[in-house]
């Protein structure tokens, strides 16, 4: 294994490690939310209200603006051009757009809530609570979108720690705040609404300081439509449209769920579970791979570009396949231990577990989208992913709406999974048009079936052990230790199977450890 793939792996591990810390704290946060709000009206109101700024954030910042901004910024850094000036222009333009969006959203919030969850219109109290919570939380979009821009700058220059660690602040603030609400007898739905806004301020502030320390003394300026900003917009608009398609998929799922009592919360908690491996692996790959590919293509180094994509695929699937099978085979054990307490009942746990298993089927596709998308974005091609996303949107809508009368809220999860596989297949086929960058090499083809076999072995061990631990997994005093034992046994079984099948060789492990030292 050469030095460059080792450096790439270390970057993946840095981002993945901090993302893992954030997601684990996110579980603590979601456990606190589930205990305080359960799956009732307050929980469903929070899910929709919090989803609104996050939906537009992915549309404007992470999904579109950053996908266009990061390659252009990285090339300016590589060429020694005025990267700071370009970033200041982008920051001013983004902030101006988001301020206008926030003002419009606050005025039209009742209609936005109905667009997200039409079923709430039949329940006036739930609808009014959702609107009031959403009005307080919506300005979070401005704060977190600027934080995403600062993160993109740090990632482009290889400073991954601050960007990956900042999301920890949201989880810490929510957990501590909900604990104080419980101790003081405060209304948790009121506390959590303002805590989200406070967390946004903290995240943006931490990343702004980190960007300045990285050598980019950003200063506010009046927005101007310069030739550079026009080019940024030309690249960003198709990406924004593609991001809009993804958000339409989520919107369809929430609309379907809003007509089934408790389903909005069930799908939210299920989403949080599959987002753990997706965040740790997929997001880490996307964050590291995009600037890496941009630099390699700027230098005309197609050999290393292909190496980066293939090794990213190996790393992704090595961690994703066992996670996906675990979510499929033992979802109830995971959900009941993590969430079944307080206002969250056993019925809620069973309903959530069904959705978790369905999302698990789609997890490899969701992660591979993160690997394949940078192949397009690094070349400033945002139109192709948009076309593929449109096809996936149609698949999602047809399945979610068509199956709802037959399988209820689960149609939303089935639709998300099916659309994920369709989109991944289209991205892979389209990426081949760019030559060898997305073509599997011999090492990847040798490793993939061995990784899959190792994951199947692990799944069999998990099934047998979950059956043996059945009573302990539902015992209030023992269930945490039982779940920890189940997880550790699964990890050990997977590691042993990888060693026996040759999915990971001892020589590669020794080389990685030597390079790490």
Which pLDDT tens digit goes with each residue over 358-391?
999 999 999 898 888 888 877 778 788 889 988 9
CB-count exposure of residue 350 (10 Å: 0-12, 13-18, 19+) = middle
Q: How confident is the model at residue 453 (pLDDT cuts 50, 70, 90)?
A: very high
What's the mean per-residue pLDDT of the chain? 83
Query: Which of 68-77, 148-157, 274-283, 391-400 has the highest mean predicted lDDT (pLDDT)?
Result: 391-400
Q: What does R_g of the chain's alpha carbons equal in angstroms?
A: 22
Residue 15 has what pLDDT? 62
- Assign 440 to helix, strand or coil: coil
Name the more confident of 77 and 288: 77
Whether residue 447 is predicted with pLDDT greater than 80 in this model: the reply is yes
Q: Where are the domains of the chain?
A: 3-440, 443-517
| Structure tokens, 13 | 């591990």
Sign of CA dihedral 381, 208, 49, 43: positive
Secondary structure in 3-state letters for 186-199: CCHHHHHHHHHHHH
Q: Kindly report whether the global pTM for this prediction surpasses the value 0.75.
A: no
Residue 294 has what pLDDT? 64
Q: How confident is the model at residue 517 (pLDDT cuts 50, 70, 90)?
A: very low
**pLDDT (mean) for 210-236:** 85
For residue 135, count other CB atoms closer than 10 A to its CB: 19
Name the more confident of 312 and 64: 312
Sign of CA dihedral 88, 89, 91, 95: positive
Residue found under tokens 């998929």:
249
End-to-end CA distance of the chain: 15
Name the more confident of 282 and 395: 395
Q: What is the DSSP letter of 437?
A: G
Least confident of 137-151, 229-243, 394-408: 229-243
d(CA 462, CA 486): 7
For residue 391, count other CB atoms closer than 10 A to its CB: 15
d(CA 371, CA 384): 15
Q: How confident is the model at residue 512 (pLDDT cuts 50, 70, 90)?
A: very low
| Structure tokens, 508 | 């590669």
| Structure tokens, 33 | 């939310």
d(CA 504, CA 496): 10
For residue 211, count other CB atoms closer than 10 A to its CB: 25
Least confident of 2-16, 139-153, 204-218, 396-410: 2-16
Residue 478 has what pLDDT? 86
Q: Work out the widest C-alpha separation in the chain, in whole angstroms.
A: 66
Q: How confident is the model at residue 516 (pLDDT cuts 50, 70, 90)?
A: very low
For residue 225, count other CB atoms closer than 10 A to its CB: 10
**Residue 422 near residue 288, CB atoms below 8 Å:** no
Cα angle, residue 303 at apex, residues 299 and 309 outer, rounded to 5°: 100
d(CA 167, CA 161): 11
CA distances from 192 to 32, 369, 477 (A): 11, 32, 29
| Structure tokens, 81 | 């051009």
Residue 148 has what pLDDT? 84
| Structure tokens, 360 | 């698990």
Q: Determine what percent of the chain is predicted with pLDDT higher than 90.
A: 32
DSSP alpha helices (H): ranges in 157-226? 160-165, 168-184, 188-213
| Structure tokens, 445 | 């083809």
Residue 441 has what pLDDT? 84
d(CA 197, CA 113): 19
Which pLDDT tens digit goes with each residue over 277-314?
887 776 667 666 666 676 676 666 777 778 878 888 88
| Structure tokens, 133 | 């919570």
d(CA 504, CA 152): 32
Overall residue count recorded for the chain in this entry: 517
Q: How confident is the model at residue 427 (pLDDT cuts 50, 70, 90)?
A: very high
């Amino acid at each position: 294994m050469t030095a460059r793939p080792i450096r790439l792996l270390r970057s993946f591990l840095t981002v993945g490690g901090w993302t893992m810390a954030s997601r684990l704290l996110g579980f603590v946060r979601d456990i606190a939310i589930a205990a305080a709000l359960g799956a009732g009206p307050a929980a469903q109101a929070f899910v929709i209200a919090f989803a609104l700024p996050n939906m537009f954030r992915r549309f404007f910042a992470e999904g579109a603006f950053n996908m266009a901004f990061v390659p252009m910024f990285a090339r300016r850094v590589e060429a020694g051009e005025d990267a700071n000036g370009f970033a200041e222009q982008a920051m001013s333009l983004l902030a101006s757009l988001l301020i206008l969006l926030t003002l419009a959203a606050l005025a039209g919030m009742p209609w936005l809530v109905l667009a997200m969850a039409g079923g709430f219109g039949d329940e006036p109290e739930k609808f009014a609570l959702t609107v009031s919570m959403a009005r307080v939380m919506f300005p979070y979009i401005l704060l977190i979108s600027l934080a995403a821009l600062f993160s993109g700058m740090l990632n482009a220059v290889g400073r991954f720690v601050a960007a990956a660690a900042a999301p920890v602040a949201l989880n810490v603030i929510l957990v501590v705040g909900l604990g104080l609400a419980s101790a003081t007898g405060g209304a948790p739905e009121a506390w959590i609404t303002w805590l989200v806004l406070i967390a946004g301020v903290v995240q943006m502030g931490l990343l702004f300081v980190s960007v300045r320390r990285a050598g980019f003394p950003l200063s506010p300026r009046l927005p101007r439509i310069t030739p550079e900003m026009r080019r940024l917009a030309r690249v960003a608009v198709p990406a924004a449209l593609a991001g809009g398609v993804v958000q339409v998929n989520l919107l369809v799922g929430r609309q379907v769920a809003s007509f089934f009592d408790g389903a909005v919360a069930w799908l939210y908690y299920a989403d949080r579970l599959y987002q753990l491996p997706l965040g740790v692996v997929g997001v880490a790959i996307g964050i590291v791979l995009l600037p890496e590919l941009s630099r390699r293509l700027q230098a005309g180094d197609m050999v290393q570009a292909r190496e980066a994509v293939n090794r990213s695929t190996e790393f992704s699937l090595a961690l994703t396949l066992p996670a996906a099978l675990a979510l499929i085979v033992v979802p109830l054990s995971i959900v009941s231990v993590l969430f079944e307490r307080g206002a969250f009942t056993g019925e809620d746990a069973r309903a959530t577990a069904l959705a978790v298993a369905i999302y698990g089927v789609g997890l490899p596709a969701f992660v591979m989208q993160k690997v394949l998308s940078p192949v397009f974005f690094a070349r400033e091609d945002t139109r192709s992913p948009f076309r593929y996303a449109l096809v996936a949107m149609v698949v999602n809508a047809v399945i979610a709406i068509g199956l709802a009368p037959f399988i209820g809220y689960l149609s939303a999860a089935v639709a998300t999974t099916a659309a994920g596989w369709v989109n991944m297949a289209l991205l892979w086929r389209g990426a081949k048009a760019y030559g060898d960058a997305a073509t599997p090499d011999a090492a990847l083809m040798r490793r993939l079936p061995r990784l899959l076999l190792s994951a199947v072995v692990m799944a069999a061990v998990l099934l047998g052990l979950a059956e043996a631990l059945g009573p302990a997994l539902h015992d209030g005093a023992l269930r945490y230790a039982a779940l920890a034992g189940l997880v550790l046994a699964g990890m050990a079984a997977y590691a042993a199977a990888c060693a026996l099948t040759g999915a990971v060789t001892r020589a590669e492990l020794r080389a990685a450890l030597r390079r790490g030292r």
